Structure 1
Amino acid sequence: MSTAPVLPAPVTKGDRIGIVTVSAPEPAKAPGVFARGVEALRARGFEPVTAEHTFGLNGYRAANEEDLLNDFHAYIADPSIAAVICAGGGKNANRLLRGLDIPLIAAHPKPIVGVSDPSVLLNAITARTHVPTLHGPSVMWDWGAESAPPETGDHCTAMLAGEREAGRIAATLGWAYPGSAEGHLIAGCLSSLRCLLGTPWEPNWRGAILVWEDAFKPVDVLDQALTHFRDRGVLDQIAGMVVGELVGCEPSGGRGAIEMVTDLCSEFDFPVAFGLPFGHTPLKYTLPIGAEARLDHHAEHALTITSPWTRTSPGGTS
């Protein structure tokens, strides 16, 4: 990135983690699942605390913009809260963008964890503050899932702690266009990231490694979204692309997602890998948005985080 990152402190056992809802009222609709997620975090040694409007129900959102932002900012400002994790997902986290208190977040850097819809907030916050955020498991979908793979929680816990070994992403990737690239990570749900195009919170695409996934959209809809990124000039600027495992994204007209991406990216010279478990997959790796990364089809670990994402990083170097 063009500006040095502002690194948060690592999060370890005994630390308090604040839980917020930023979009859909999922905890209110499935309180048992939410409770199971809270207990899973507690079993990892954390002390989870729940914001005032986490269980709110206001139509298709948990509460209005002001209340959800107040919850979020309160935990950012609270020195006893070591990290903030999103309860779940939805479709309207972008309603909070204009109300983000960027100076407050920059002054109190701490890990913020989310997935799917909240990835629009994670990338906006990193773009404006240079504080790395974590694209990782939510309380509802992952920590609260009855059959959640333990590796998902293991990796998130290691990333929260800043363990450098966790930056060696142990996933076997396929390649549409092999090669190597280095750059800062931009990661999230494609349809959520699309909401940042042309806004004041748009990430710095220059030299980035774009890691994206999506769920329950046919390939022609993914094509429409990725073409928007192309026509916005994003694909002219990035250094590399990783397509995650796509959940429920069915072929359109007999063409699958990898075929679509291979075709659409054929005019560019950056490497394109696919098959990374993150986002909507049960097994998911936690990715530090804004950290420097290396993508290399010759390496033992095709995707490696090469810069710290917390102020102190136990273990060796990546």
Structure 2
Amino acid sequence: MYSRRDVLRLLAVGSVGLRLSQRQHLQRRPHALRQGMTVGIVAPASPVTPRQLRDGIAFFESLGLRVVLGRYLNSSTGYLSAPDRDRAQELTEFLLRPDIDAVICARGGYGVLRILPLLDFDVLKQCTKPVVGYSDITALLIALYQQTGLITFHGPMASSQFDSTTAGSFQATLFQFESEHPSPTEVQLTYTDERFVPVVEGTAEGALLGGNLSVFCSMLGTPFEPDTRDCILFFEDVGEEPYKVDRMLTQLALAGKLDSVRGMVLGAFTKQSPNSREADAEQTGTPIAAIAADYCQQRQIPLLANFPIGHIRSKVTLPIGVRALLDTHTRSLRILESPIEIV
């Protein structure tokens, strides 16, 4: 288990700087993680191999966490880990089990959107634990947040690689450190790096919302359509050509989803072969930023690119639903509210 000083040291030598400060808050949040708690790993989309989970399990155990594995991690129903009803049932079980303190998705792939109608979100309002994932898991994160009010986390999955940046951000966002007193004290996080690219200048404050761009767009016109009003949107994607990204941004614009947006952050847009690891992904971010700039400039939406989220080795954990401050002049994104409840 790292101390707060250890986390700050790790982030200082990683690719992203992270600063901590404290303030009061009033927002409902999931409980923090600490040593001795249990994380459950489930596959609500596509399956994984035991080897793909090995490093993630070792990382969680190194933090003093116990690990419970889902039944369908290594099974296969075509490109899905299990039939829709089975995946929905197991996910619900893990979200509600009192002996599981956080739910970490094994991987993305495909299939989350199929199970959303099978989830009872009124029942899931009982869930007060962190839920973490990205890629196809975007649909679950947004649906849980909008349907139940629970802050969710766009971050590494159990099959991810936990380098110093990924591990440090995960801990700083989700963990209760030994020095913290159980009170409504907040930890304020600021991500800043000279490699972040200011594309459309400005500052903006709003609630964080986003994830995988293609999954985000697939939710339009459904009962789980994202509400983007007064939000700072963040997007990443993999295997999408620039013209397809342009088409998706056009769809968002025509659907009115950019009209009341406060700011936008672009993560990694990568090319990736079906069997490659995150670290092998080839960046294609520059043309994507230029495409997004066209939409943002028209609406005076500040835009920051090259942010460390997506199908890449080093990634940070972003809480969906909390207020943040985007400042392109300082190349920074500051989380203004603690996403966790200190217990």
TM-score past 0.5 threshold: yes
Matched-pair contact (CA < 8 Å) for 2:34–2:176: no
Q: Equivalent residue for 1:178? A: 201
Among 190, 195, 217, the alignment partner of 1:168 is 190
Are 1:6 and 1:129, in contact at CA under 8 Å, matched by a contact in 2?
Answer: no
Aligned to 1:245, what secondary structure does the other structure show? strand
Residue 87 of structure 1: aligned partner: 106
- Structure 1: runs of 5 or more not aligned: 314-318
Higher deviation after alignment, 226-235 or 97-106: 97-106
2:276 corresponds to: none
1:250 shift after superposition = 7.5
Q: CA deviation at 1:166?
A: 6.2
Displacement after TM superposition at 1:210 (Å): 0.2
1:224 matched to 2:212? The reply is no
**Aligned structure 1 segments of 4 or more residues deviating by more than 4 angstroms:** 162-166, 249-252
Query: How many correspondences in the alignment?
Result: 299
Unaligned runs of 5+ in 2: 1-25, 178-185, 272-281
Q: 2:298 aligns with which of 246, 258, 267?
A: 267
In 2, Cα distance between equivalents of 1:18 and 1:205:
30
Q: Cα deviation per residue 1:236-256 (whole Å; 9 max; x = unaligned)?
A: 11111011122227879xx82
Q: Residue in 1 aligned with 2:39? A: 17
Matched, 1:290 2:321: yes
Does the Cα contact within 8 Å between 1:205 and 1:234 map onto a contact in 2? yes
Counterpart of 2:3 in structure 1 is none
Of residues 35, 52, 56 in structure 2, which corresponds to 1:37?
56
Give 1:137's aligned residue. 156
Note the alpha carbon deviations across 1:264-284, whole angstroms, 9 max, x for none.
333111111111011211100
Counterpart for residue 78 of structure 1:
97
Alignment identity in percent?
30
> Is residue 267–residue 305 contact of structure 2 (8 Å, CA) maintained in 1?
yes
1:55: which partner in 2?
74
- Structure 2 Cα separation of the partners of residues 58 and 306 of structure 1: 42
Q: Could you tell me how far 1:157 is from its partner in structure 2? A: 1.8
Amino acid at match of 1:168: T
Matched, 1:100 2:119: yes
Alpha carbons of structure 1 residues 268 and 19: separation in structure 2 relative to 1, 3 Å: same
Give the CA deviation at 1:128. Answer: 1.1
Q: Does the 8 Å CA contact 1:122/1:133 hold for their aligned counterparts?
A: yes
Contact 1:171 1:277 in 2 (8 A): no
Aligned to 2:237: 214
1:196 aligns with 2:227: no
Asked whether the 8 Å contact 1:136–1:284 carries over to 2, the reply is yes
One-letter code aligned to 1:276: F
C-alpha contact 2:110 2:136 (8 A) present in aligned 1? yes
Secondary structure of the residue aligned to 2:314 is coil
Alpha-carbon offset, residue 19 of structure 1: 0.5
User: What is the TM-score normalised by the length of structure 2?
Assistant: 0.82
Secondary structure of the residue aligned to 2:125 is: helix
Whole-Å separation in 2 of the counterparts to 1:152 and 1:263: 31
Q: Distance in 1 between matches of 2:258 and 2:176?
A: 30
Q: 1:260 corresponds to which letter in structure 2? A: I
**Aligned residue type for 1:212:** F
User: Which residue number corresponds to residue 170 of structure 2?
Assistant: 156
Q: Distance in 2 between matches of 1:159 and 1:114?
A: 14
Deviations 1:18-43 (A, max 9, x none): 10001112x2xx22121332122112
Query: Secondary structure of 2:234's match?
Result: strand
- Change in Cα spacing, 1:296 to 1:34, as seen in structure 2 (3 Å) is same
Equivalent-residue separation in structure 1 for 2:176 and 2:305 (angstroms):
25
Task: State the Cα RMSD in Å.
Answer: 2.0
Contact 2:188 2:337 in 1 (8 A): no
Question: Is this contact kept in 2: 1:293–1:306, CA < 8 A?
Answer: yes
Cα displacement string for residues 62-82 of structure 1 (whole angstroms, at most 9, x for unaligned residues): 001111111111111111211
* Equivalences for residues 100-139 of structure 1 within 5 A: 100-139=119-158
- Structure 1 length normalisation: TM-score? 0.88
Offset, 1:121:
0.8
Task: Tell me the SS of whatever aligns to 1:265.
Answer: helix
CA contact 1:245–1:281 (8 Å) conserved in 2: yes
Structure 1 position 158, deviation (Å)? 1.8
Letter in 2 for 1:109: T
CA 1:166–1:230 in 2, change beyond 3 Å: closer, same or farther? Answer: same
CA–CA distance in structure 1, aligned partners of residues 283 and 206 of structure 2: 31
